[in-house]
Amino acid sequence: MLEIRTIADIVAFESTPLVERNLPDSTYEVFARGAQKRPDKTALTFFLQGTKYEKSVSYSYRDWFGRMTQAANMFHDLGVGPNDVVSYILPNLPETFITLYGAEAVGISNPLNPLLEPDTLAEIMKAAETKVLVTVGPFPNIDLWQKSAEIVAKVPSIHTILQVDLADHLSGLTKLVVKLMQRREANPPVKARVLNFNKTLKGYSAEKLTFNRAIKPDDVASYFHTGGTTGIPKLAIHTHRNEVFDSWMAATAAGADETEITLCGLPLFHNFGAIAAGLGLWSVGSTVVLASPQGYRGEGVVPNFWKIVEHYRCTSFNTVPTLIKSLLDLPVGDADISSLASAICGAAPLPVEWFKQFRERTGVGILEGYGLTEATSVNSVNPRYGEQRVGSIGFRLPYQEMRIAIIEDGQFERFAETDEVGVVILRGPNVFPGYKEAVHNVNVFVDSGDGGAKWLNTGDMGRQDADGYFWLTGRKKELIIRGGHNIDPKLIEEPIHEHPAVAVAAAVGRPDARVGELPVVYVELKPGQTATEEEILEFACEHVGERAAVPKRIYIVNEIPLTAVGKIFKPALSRAQVVDVYQEEVAQVDGVEKVVVSAEADKVRGTIAYVNVTAQPGTDKVALEQDVRTALGQYSVAYELSIG
């Protein structure tokens, strides 16, 4: 097991050339090796309901590999070849992993977010040229089948649909009742062959592949959708080398091994849950506990969280800041969580106050990390066995280069000095080869002129301190991160621009104590046109293609700030939202007479808020300061506080 404490441990680990690590050539080989090394060990445990978490189904490494083999044989028999795509619209199920990695053994997998609107999903699948779609069949109170049926009519390349029957995970009277209800569910006709996933799967060999394919490390494994959902969809290409290396290295750097039992409730259409929290743990012999089809959002999962940890003796869990906030409101009680050693948090910045409170109440450290789809999944993480610097995204992964660079107009100028803010750039075996559509590859890579491979320009702003820790200070690419989910502002802006009264629309994130950020939009109207904020908000609700991206507020302004060259200056809008939120938050604290907030760009810390509070006469200023810091500690934007 690799125990990273300082950057020196990473350098020492790299003294063994990567080629001598003898990594598998494909994701399928990861499962084959697991079955060979530890056939009877539990690979996956799945429970359907958080209220009945004790009832579960488990798969040994042998069983798990067999399911991948069956799926690969099934997809091959359905006409899927190395360049063909299997898309899935599924909740968190064993069948989701089986589809993802079974498809990669024969062709290309394409995970899709079930919350996207049908038109958006159809555009992605048309760009991917999907041949086979795996989705949920008719089931009470779940609309995925109706949504999928609507999509198929718009994607002529789909010739087969495999339905996963959720009733397969039920038993007894409950299953009988659901089966009766399913018969009453509408089952719209579709222009494609429709098969039952599990019934069809059982007809194929679990012992060996029935076709010949020698997968090469640089063969395409998957298309993960990223970015906006208007115009040409952005499909990030992952090779087998990308996924094998990044998953193994992420799990290894986080200190996982055969003793690890990790609770997973992150969505399996996202790279963190699908790759790092799945494939990575299986590559080092760990056990994954998959928590309900809705993940951590499933009924009873959060209320029973500590009991679930106790029952399965979990040693870690993967998380996003919103879950940490929920757990802070949930007493551990009499649950025995002594097995729990760490939580791995990514997707969005974690407020410092939440980190401190969680460690104080549970004794468990949070390993904050960083990653992006274009670099497969995970790219840095705080050391499990070393100092976990609150607010930092930790050390780079071994064998992956991570630097801060000064980039102007898409061109590399120089590497940044220690603690100098610049753009985070990456290169290594986990960096993707590019997007499927060449139009999206402009300025994605930069050349440092050192004779090595080009670097991935992440668009994220950051710095590296003298000890090798990385810190994010902002986002040049302007993504809005809601509950760990990336939202491209264009997804919001482009539909709103279709409103006849709108001249300019600019979407930014508004700090939120529960989900990190919520999308809001500043709008400038066309000369002579009139519209209310309510009217434009209603228009956005109807036309934005993703529920999470629908803005919470519209601000009609006379002028949207521009740069000297006429581009929208979003940092000014983002800082205005910080000021507004911090002003509202502090004003509600007992003992505050007046509060004045301003926000500026800081070269080291990114955006920083300056909060000046006037206390009411007779107020205990020490206690007031603590109350204000507690209120602002819910947010990730740094601040400086003065009380008078």
**pLDDT, tens digit (0-9, with 9 covering 90-100), for 263-272:** 999 999 989 8
Distance (Å) of CA 577 to CA 68, 77, 510, 517: 48, 54, 5, 10
**pLDDT, tens digit (0-9, with 9 covering 90-100), for 202-226:** 999 999 999 999 999 999 999 999 8
Number of helices (H), then strands (E), belonging to the chain: the values are 18, 30
Q: Decide if 457 contacts 471 (C-beta within 8 A).
A: no
Distance CA 598, CA 592 (A): 17
Distance (Å) of CA 429 to CA 113, 238, 246, 433: 26, 11, 8, 10
Burial class (CB in 10 A: 0-12, 13-18, 19+), 20: exposed
Q: Decide if 619 contacts 644 (C-beta within 8 A).
A: no
Alpha helices in 317-407 (DSSP H): 321-328, 352-362
221, two tokens: 């494994």
Helix (H, G, I), strand (E, B) or coil at 236: strand
Query: What confidence category does residue 475 fall into, taking pLDDT thresholds of 50, 70 and 90?
Result: low
How many Cβ atoms sit within 10 Å of the Cβ of residue 22?
7
Q: Which pLDDT score, from 0 to 100, does residue 13 have? A: 97
Distance CA 228, CA 480 (A): 11
Distance (Å) of CA 391 to CA 9, 366, 600: 21, 11, 19
Ranges 248-262, 313-327, 477-491: which has the least confidence? 477-491
165, two tokens: 């029957």
Residues 611-637 have a mean pLDDT of 88
125, two tokens: 């699948």
User: What values do phi and psi take at 274, rounded to 5?
Assistant: -75, -40
Q: Where do the CATH 3.30.300.30 domains begin and end in the chain?
A: 480-560, 572-643
Pick the most confident of 103-112, 231-240, 477-486: 103-112
Q: Decide if 614 contacts 592 (C-beta within 8 A).
A: yes
Query: What confidence category does residue 348 fall into, taking pLDDT thresholds of 50, 70 and 90?
Result: low
Q: Which pLDDT score, from 0 to 100, does residue 561 have? A: 86
Distance CA 201, CA 76 (A): 12
**pLDDT, tens digit (0-9, with 9 covering 90-100), for 544-555:** 877 888 999 999
Q: Which pLDDT score, from 0 to 100, does residue 470 have? A: 96
More confident residue, 470 or 459: 470
Q: Which pLDDT score, from 0 to 100, does residue 168 have? A: 82
- Number of residues in the chain: 644
Q: Which pLDDT score, from 0 to 100, does residue 565 have? A: 53
Distance CA 39, CA 496 (A): 54
Q: Which residue has the tokens 């729990």?
A: 340
Q: Which pLDDT score, from 0 to 100, does residue 494 have? A: 82
Residue 563 has pLDDT above 70, yes or no: no
Q: Decide if 634 contacts 353 (C-beta within 8 A).
A: yes
Q: Which pLDDT score, from 0 to 100, does residue 1 have? A: 75
* Stated pTM of the model: 0.82
At CA 195, angle to CA 193 and CA 199, rounded to 5?
Answer: 160
Q: Which residue has the tokens 């949930």?
A: 330
**pLDDT, tens digit (0-9, with 9 covering 90-100), for 232-265:** 788 999 999 999 999 999 999 999 999 999 999 9
Q: Decide if 164 contacts 93 (C-beta within 8 A).
A: yes
Ranges 11-15, 92-96, 181-185, 567-571: which has the least confidence? 181-185
**pLDDT, tens digit (0-9, with 9 covering 90-100), for 394-438:** 999 999 999 999 998 889 999 999 999 899 999 999 999 999 998
At CA 41, angle to CA 38 and CA 47, rounded to 5?
Answer: 145
Query: What confidence category does residue 180 fall into, taking pLDDT thresholds of 50, 70 and 90?
Result: low
Q: Where do the CATH 3.40.50.12780 domains begin and end in the chain?
A: 7-381
What average pLDDT is seen over the chain? 90
Taking the CA of residue 481 as centre, how many other CA atoms within 13 Å lie in the half-sphere pointing to its CB? 19
Smallest Cα–Cα separation from 515: which of 471, 543, 547, 491? 547
Distance CA 511, CA 583 (A): 12
β-strands 56-60, 401-408 pairing: unpaired
Ranges 318-327, 402-411, 465-474: which has the least confidence? 318-327
Ranges 102-111, 175-184, 200-209, 617-626: which has the least confidence? 175-184
387, two tokens: 């100092």
Distance CA 222, CA 82 (A): 11
Query: What confidence category does residue 229 fall into, taking pLDDT thresholds of 50, 70 and 90?
Result: very low
Q: Which residue has the tokens 């040049």?
A: 476
- Determine whether domain 7-381 maps to CATH 3.40.50.12780: yes
CATH topology of domain 480-560: GMP Synthetase; Chain A, domain 3 (3.30.300)
Instruction: Name the CA radius of gyration of the chain, rounded.
Output: 25
Q: Decide if 611 contacts 639 (C-beta within 8 A).
A: yes
Alpha helices in 54-195 (DSSP H): 61-77, 94-106, 118-128, 144-152, 172-184
Ranges 73-87, 460-474, 503-517: which has the least confidence? 503-517
Q: Which residues pair with 238 in a beta bridge?
A: 222
CATH topology of domain 572-643: GMP Synthetase; Chain A, domain 3 (3.30.300)
Helix (H, G, I), strand (E, B) or coil at 348: coil
Distance CA 119, CA 125 (A): 10
CATH superfamily of 402-475: Luciferase; Domain 3 (2.30.38.10)
More confident residue, 160 or 570: 160
Distance CA 357, CA 641 (A): 20
Element (H, E) at 226: strand 220-226
